[in-house]
Amino acid sequence: MAHTKSQGKTRQKGNRVGQRRGVKIFGSQKVKNGNIIVRQVGSKFHSGPGTKTGKDFTIYAIRQGIVNFFKKQGKQFVSVIKQ
């Protein structure tokens, strides 16, 4: 039995911090222009009216209003409705 650690384990990085992904502003909450609504990997949520998608699939508001989550043809969408 080996008394030293194997090469692979010692070279791997240890405890890494999380990337804080997920829904940041939930449905029927107020949002301002530029606020991040969802941070995600890939397009689990799609951007609807009043929102845009960033290059890392972050969905953010492009106008002020109330956040609304809805499904359309089996896909989940996020929109911002004017007050």
User: What pLDDT was estimated at residue 60?
Assistant: 98
The model's pTM: 0.81
pLDDT-above-70 percentage for the chain: 86
What structural domains and CATH numbers belong to the chain? 22-81 (2.40.50.100)
Q: Tell me how far apart the alpha carbons of residues 51 and 69 are, in angstroms, rounded to a whole number.
A: 11
Work out the pLDDT band at 14, boundaries 50, 70, 90: confident
H runs (alpha helix) in the chain: 7-11
Do 50 and 80 touch, CB atoms closer than 8 A? Answer: yes
Position 16 scores a pLDDT of 87
